[in-house]
Structure 1
Amino acid sequence: MNAVQRSIFFSALERYASLLLFLVSIGILSRLLTPKEFGIYAVVLAITSVFSTSSQEFGGANYLIQKASLSEVNVRTAFTITFGLSVAIGLLLYLLGGVVGSTLGAQGPATGIAVAVLNFIVTPFSTTIIALYRRDMQFGVVAASNLACNFTMVCVSIALAKMGYSYLAPIWGMIAGSVVQTVYLMGNRRDLRIFRPSLQGYPEVVRFGLYSSGVVLINVFYSSAPQLFLARMLDFTTVGLYSRACTLTQVFDKLVIQVISPVIMPAIFAQTKAGADLKRLYLHATSLLTVLYWPFLIFMAVMAKPIILVWLGPSWLEVVPLVRLLCIAQLSLFAACLTYPVLVAAGSVRDTLLSSLISLPPSLLVIFIASFFGVEAVAGSAMLTLPFQAAVAISFVSRHLDLRFTDFVHALRKSGMVALCCCATVAICAALVEHGLIGPVAGIFVACGAVAAMWLAALFAVQHPLLPELKAPVSRLVSTAWRSTGRVPVPVAQGDRDVC
C-alpha cells in the first residue's frame, strides 16, 4: 500500500471500531437518559465546542500540516498560543456559566459547562501531537489513541449514567477519554520538548489562525445554533430530539468522512507537490464521495422509522420526520469535506472564511425564524440553508479550479444513476415493513442486503470510477489469502481461459 492507502486503512480501522462503540453506546444511553437529559448535554456540548474548536485553530492541526518547513520552534510556538488561548477561554466560560444557565432558565447547563471546561486544559496537548503524526502520514498511533479515547468515553459514560449522573455522565466520559488519549500520545511521543513555551515567530501563527479559526468558529457555531435556539424558544426535550436526529444523519460522516478527513489535506498537498492536477483530483473525489454519500442518505431517510425503533426504542419515534428532512437536505453537501483543503491547497485560505461569512449568517437567520415554529420547522429549514451553503462553497472552488457546470454533470451523473437504483430498492423494502409483511429488524437486514446488491450491480452497469479503486484492494486481499494457504495463483494466459 502507498502512504495514502495505508493512512486510510488505519483511519478506517479506528473509525469503524469507534463506530461500533458509538452504535452500542447510543442505543444504551438512549434507554438510560431521557430526551430532556440529552438536550441539556447537547446544549453544553454546543456551547463548549464553539470555543474549544476555534481556539485550537490558532497553531492547531491545519497550521502544522500546511507549513512547508516545520521546526521544533514552530511547533512550540503553535502549542503555546493554542494552550494559552484554550485555558483563557475555558476560564471565561467557567465564569459565565451562571449567566448561560439563567438565560436558558435552568441550572443544568451551568453545571455541565463547569465540568466540560476541564477539557480545555487537556486537548491542546493531544491535538498538537496528532497534527504532527498526521503531517508525517503516520496514522497508526493516531488511530490507536482515538480508539482508546472512544472506548474510555463510552465505558465511563454508560457506567455513570447507570449510577444516576444524568446529563453529566457523557460529559465526564468525554473528559476521561481526552485524558486517556493524551497520556497515550505522550507515552508514544516521549520527546515532550515541543511543549516548552515559546513565542518566536508568533505573527505567522496568528495570521493563519485568524482565518482558519474564523472558518471553524462560524461553522461550529452554525452547527450548534439550532440546539441553542430551540433551548431558548422551546425546551430541552425538543433539543434532545433534534440533537438525536442530527446524530443519526451524521452516521455517514462516522463511516466515511471521518475516515478520510484526516488524510484529505496531507494527501492533497502531497499529490499537488508531485504535479497532480487539483481540478482533476477534486472532480474525481466528488465522484467517489457521491456514489457512497447519496445512497446512504437515501437509505437512512426511507428506513428511518424501523432504524429508530430498533436502535433507540419507541420513545424516540418523534425524530423520524426530522431525520428524513435532514437527510434529504444533506444530499447537497456532497463535496463539503473537500472545500477547505482544496481552497487551502489553491493558496486561498482567506476564501474559506469569506465563503462561510457569505453563506452562514443568512442560514442562521432562517434557522432562528424557523425555531419560533417548532423543531420540524428547524429541520425543514435545512432544505433551504444547506443547498445555499453548498452553492456558495462550490462557486469559490470553481473560481479557483476553473470548473464549469458541465464538469460537475459529467463527474456526478453515474453516481446519480446508482443513487436512483438504490432509492427504488430501499423504497420496496420500506413498503414491506410498513405493511407488516416483515418485521423492523428483518426489514433492516433485508434492505441492507438488497441495497448493497443493487449498489454493486449499478456500479458495474454504469462503470463507475469507484470500481478501479475497489479492484486494487480486493486483488491484494485475494493475493494475501492465496499466500496464506501456501499456494500461488497461476496467471491465466490469454489463450488458456479454461485453466483453473
Structure 2
Amino acid sequence: MVRRSFAFAFADKTTALVLQLATMAVVSRLMTPAEVGLFMISSSLVIMIEAFRDFGVASFLIQEPKLEPELVRSAVTIIGLLSLGLGLLTFLSAGLFAAIYGDPELGGLIRLASLAFLAAPISNPLLALLRRDMNFGAVARINIAAMAANAVITMSLAFTGHGPVSFAWGALSAAFINAAGAALYRPEWWIFKPSLKHWRRVVPFGAWTSAVTLLHMLYEAMPRLLLGRILGFNAVGLFTRAVSLNQLPDRLLLNAVQPVVLPAFAAKARNHESLSPPYLLGLSMISGLQWPALLALALLADPIVRLLMGQQWMEVVPLVRILAIAMLPLVPSYLAFPLLVTLGRIKLMAIVTLVTFPIATLIVLVCAQFSLTAVAWGMLVANTVQVGAMLVAVRRHAAFNWSDFGMIAVRSGAVALCTAAFPAALVAMHGPALSVPLLAAAVIGAAACWVIGLMVVSHPLSAEITRLVETLRRFRLGSNVA
C-alpha cells in the first residue's frame, strides 16, 4: 500500500516538475527578474497568512486515531471560519503591504491572491481525508489538473503581456480546481455542517501546528522579504529563481515522499511500532536521492540556467551553485515534522523552530548588507544550525544511534560523489558552459554513475531499483504472453 502510494505521489510530483520547468522556461523569457521578484514578495506574504488558514486541520484529520463525525465537523468548521476571516484580513491589508514596499501593484496581486481563501475550506479537509485513506491516486489526479490549469493560465497571460498578475491568476485557478476535484472524489457534504462541539481537541493541536507551519514558511520567505527591502525586487527575483532550481529535486522526490510519510507513520504508531527504523530508512532514501541531484545541479548550473531561463538570468548561476551546497544539510529536517506530529510532540517542533528562526534571520540580515552571494553562503550556516537543533529534538523521542546516522551519511555521500564524477569530468574538459548535447550526456552519465554508486555501497535504494526492474520485467513478460 505504501509503495503504491509513493508511486502515485511520484507521478504527481513528476508532472508538477515538468509543468514547473515549462512555466519557468516560458515566463523567464517574458518577464524581468524584478517582475518575478514582485510576485514572489506578494506570494510570500499571502503564504505566511495561509499558515493559519489550515490551522493544522489536515494533519489533525490524518493523525487522529479515531475520527468521529462530530470531531470532523468541528475541525472543518474551524478551518472555514479561519479561512474566510483571514481571507478578508488579507484583502483589507493589501494596501498596507504595498505601502511598505513602495509599489502599488503589489496590493493588487495580494487582493487577487486572497480570493483563494474561499476555496480552502472545501479542498483542505477533503484532500486530508483522501490522504488518510491513502487514496493518492485521486490526490494525484486532482493535483495534476490544478497544476496544468496553473501552468496554462500563467503562460497564456504572460504571453499576452499581463506581467506578474499572470502568476496570481494561475495560482487562483489552481485553488478552485483543487476544491472542485476534492468535492468530486470525496463528496462528503455532511462534514460542512457547522459544529464546534470538539473545538477543545482541535484548537490546541492546530495552534502548535500553525505555529510550526508559520515559522517554517517564515524561514523560507525571510530571505525574500529582507532582500526586497534591502536590495530590491531584482535581487528577490534572482535569489528566488536560484532557490527554485535547487528545489527541483525536492519537488520531484521529497514532495512525493512527504504526503505519504505522515499517514504511514500514523499507521505504524496506531499499531504501536517503533518509528526510529522507518525514520532512518527515510533519511537514507532521501539523502541517496537529493544529495546526488544537488551536486550534479551545482556542476551543471551554467547550461541548465542558460537552457531553462535564458541569457538575462545568468547572474543566477553562482547563486545556484552555492545554494545547492547550502541545501545539503537539510535532509534530516524533511521527516522531522511528520515524525513529531505522529508522536504528539508538535509543541517541541514549534519550540525548536522558534529558537532557530531568529538566528537564521540575523545571519541573512547581516549577509544582505554585503551581497546576494553572501546571503547564499549565509543560508548554509542557517540551515546547519536549524538541522542540528532538529536532530537533537527528534532523537529525544525516536532514539537512534549516531553510528547508524553516520553510516547513512557516508553511504549517501559516496553515492553523491560517484554521481558527480561524470559531470565534473565533462566540465573539467569543456568548461562550465556545456552545450545542450554535452548537458544531455552529463545527465545520462550522472544517472548511470548514480546507479553504480548505489550498487557499490549497497545503498537501500539499490534494493528498490532492483524491485522496480523486476516488476517491469514481469509486466513486460505478461504483456508478451497476452
TM-score (norm: length of structure 2): 0.97
The match for 1:118 is 115
State whether residues 39 and 243 of structure 1, in contact with CA within 8 Å, keep that contact through their aligned partners in structure 2: yes
Instruction: Return the alpha-carbon distance in structure 2 between the equivalents of residues 372 and 90 of structure 1.
Output: 34
Instruction: Return the alpha-carbon distance in structure 2 between the equivalents of residues 80 and 71 of structure 1.
Output: 14
1:435 deviates by 6.9
Aligned pairs (5 A) from 1:79-98 = 79-98=76-95
The match for 1:243 is 240
1:273 deviates by 3.3
Instruction: Return the alpha-carbon distance in structure 1 between the equivalents of residues 23 and 90 of structure 2.
Output: 28
Aligned pairs (5 A) from 1:179-218 = 179-218=176-215
The match for 2:295 is 298
SS at match of 2:334: helix
State whether residues 58 and 128 of structure 2, in contact with CA within 8 Å, keep that contact through their aligned partners in structure 1: yes
The match for 1:100 is 97
1:267 deviates by 0.8
Q: Given the alignment of the two structures, is residue 475 of structure 1 paired with residue 481 of structure 2, yes or no?
A: no
The match for 2:10 is 12
1:347 deviates by 2.9
Q: Given the alignment of the two structures, is residue 39 of structure 1 paired with residue 57 of structure 2, yes or no?
A: no
1:158 deviates by 0.9
Q: Given the alignment of the two structures, is residue 463 of structure 1 paired with residue 461 of structure 2, yes or no?
A: no
1:167 deviates by 0.5
1:380 deviates by 1.6
State whether residues 430 and 443 of structure 1, in contact with CA within 8 Å, keep that contact through their aligned partners in structure 2: no
Distance 1:457 1:232, change over 3 A: same
Aligned pairs (5 A) from 1:441-452 = 441-452=436-447
Aligned pairs (5 A) from 1:242-321 = 242-321=239-318
Cα offsets for 1:132-165 (capped at 9, x unmatched): 0000111111111000100001111111112221
Instruction: Return the alpha-carbon distance in structure 1 between the equivalents of residues 84 and 228 of structure 2.
Output: 27
Instruction: Return the alpha-carbon distance in structure 2 between the equivalents of residues 64 and 160 of structure 1.
Output: 37
State whether residues 310 and 440 of structure 1, in contact with CA within 8 Å, keep that contact through their aligned partners in structure 2: no
1:285 deviates by 1.4
1:87 deviates by 1.6
Aligned residues: 482
The match for 1:49 is 47
The match for 1:418 is 415
State whether residues 250 and 290 of structure 2, in contact with CA within 8 Å, keep that contact through their aligned partners in structure 1: no
The match for 2:20 is 22
Instruction: Return the alpha-carbon distance in structure 2 between the equivalents of residues 446 and 21 of structure 1.
Output: 23
- Rg (Cα) greater in structure: 1
What amino acid is aligned across from residue 5 of structure 2 in structure 1? S
Q: C-alpha root-mean-square deviation of aligned residues, in Å? A: 1.5
State whether residues 432 and 443 of structure 1, in contact with CA within 8 Å, keep that contact through their aligned partners in structure 2: no
1:307 deviates by 0.5
1:433 deviates by 3.8
Of 415-424 and 135-144, deviating more is 415-424
What amino acid is aligned across from residue 457 of structure 2 in structure 1? V
Instruction: Return the alpha-carbon distance in structure 1 between the equivalents of residues 198 and 45 of structure 2.
Output: 31
SS at match of 2:66: coil
TM-score (norm: length of structure 1): 0.94
Aligned pairs (5 A) from 1:126-145 = 126-145=123-142
State whether residues 130 and 186 of structure 2, in contact with CA within 8 Å, keep that contact through their aligned partners in structure 1: no
State whether residues 300 and 432 of structure 2, in contact with CA within 8 Å, keep that contact through their aligned partners in structure 1: no
Cα offsets for 1:48-81 (capped at 9, x unmatched): 00011332124x2101001111022222211111
1:443 deviates by 2.1
The match for 1:491 is none
Q: Given the alignment of the two structures, is residue 176 of structure 1 paired with residue 173 of structure 2, yes or no?
A: yes
1:201 deviates by 0.6
Instruction: Return the alpha-carbon distance in structure 2 between the equivalents of residues 63 and 420 of structure 1.
Output: 40
Percent identity at matched positions?
32
1:270 deviates by 1.6
Moved over 3 A (4+): 272-276
Q: Given the alignment of the two structures, is residue 327 of structure 1 paired with residue 324 of structure 2, yes or no?
A: yes
Structure 2: give runs of 5+ residues left out of the alignment. none
Instruction: Return the alpha-carbon distance in structure 2 between the equivalents of residues 119 and 246 of structure 1.
Output: 25
Instruction: Return the alpha-carbon distance in structure 2 between the equivalents of residues 288 and 184 of structure 1.
Output: 31
Aligned pairs (5 A) from 1:138-153 = 138-153=135-150
Distance 1:485 1:222, change over 3 A: same
What amino acid is aligned across from residue 336 of structure 1 in structure 2? S
What amino acid is aligned across from residue 4 of structure 2 in structure 1? R
Instruction: Return the alpha-carbon distance in structure 2 between the equivalents of residues 90 and 258 of structure 1.
Output: 26
